Chain A
Amino acid sequence: GESVGLHLPTLSVQEGDNSIINCAYSNSASDYFIWYKQESGKGPQFIIDIRSNMDKRQGQRVTVLLNKTVKHLSLQIAATQPGDSAVYFCAESSVWAGSYQLTFGKGTKLSVIP
């Protein structure tokens, strides 16, 4: 079904600080999670993923944390830069559903203050 029509939550961060973006998911059977970055006028771009048998995964300047107990996912961006300003979406999928489709969270708009 459609998402409720709400404005995106916004996170404002000073350049150089660390950013933490949170996401709650609803399907306890989800076994794969992805963070996407969407800049204005562009499609979502893959940042990092994590499987349900892990609780942490690190990439370049980004870390994803997964807490299956409370169905919570977070994206940490170290030393946030102006180029990180975008909308960030978490997405989940569950292979048991057999369709490989992704379900997206509501998104968070990150604004970096120079």
Chain B
Amino acid sequence: SAVISQKPSRDICQRGTSLTIQCQVDSQVTMMFWYRQQPGQSLTLIATANQGSEATYESGFVIDKFPISRPNLTFSTLTVSNMSPEDSSIYLCSARGTGQFTEAFFGQGTRLTVV
């Protein structure tokens, strides 16, 4: 199993600003993902963070709004840009091995409130 550390764990931000969330895994992993979870709802995939190349975004999410970096096999960042109150949510980092039948591990999440 992998241990994933996310920071910050929570933040309150002013609208129009940006926040960068960091995700550190305690071992090298092939796959890293970023999810959004709005209160009382399920997890929605934002993007797959690709090491050494641009992230792969899901429908409804764009790079200008959610730029992602992945400089190596243990670290990734997600930036929420030009925030509005609608961006208030929990953002979760996840990591998974390349085996076909391997579970994904999650960080504890970053609870973002935009005021």
Contact = CB atoms under 8 A, between A and B. Distances in A.
A99 B94 CA distance: 14
A104 B103 contact: no
B98 interface: yes
Interface stretch (A1-9, A14-22, A74-82): A1-9
A97 B102 CA distance: 15
Interface string B76-105: 000000000000000010101010110111
B33 to A, nearest CB: 6
B43 A101 contact: no
27 contacts: A1-B58, A3-B42, A5-B38, A5-B41, A6-B41, A7-B40, A8-B40, A8-B41, A32-B101, A34-B104, A41-B111, A42-B109, A43-B92, A43-B106, A43-B108, A43-B109, A44-B43, A45-B106, A46-B1, A100-B31, A100-B96, A100-B98, A101-B33, A102-B33, A102-B45, A104-B42, A106-B41
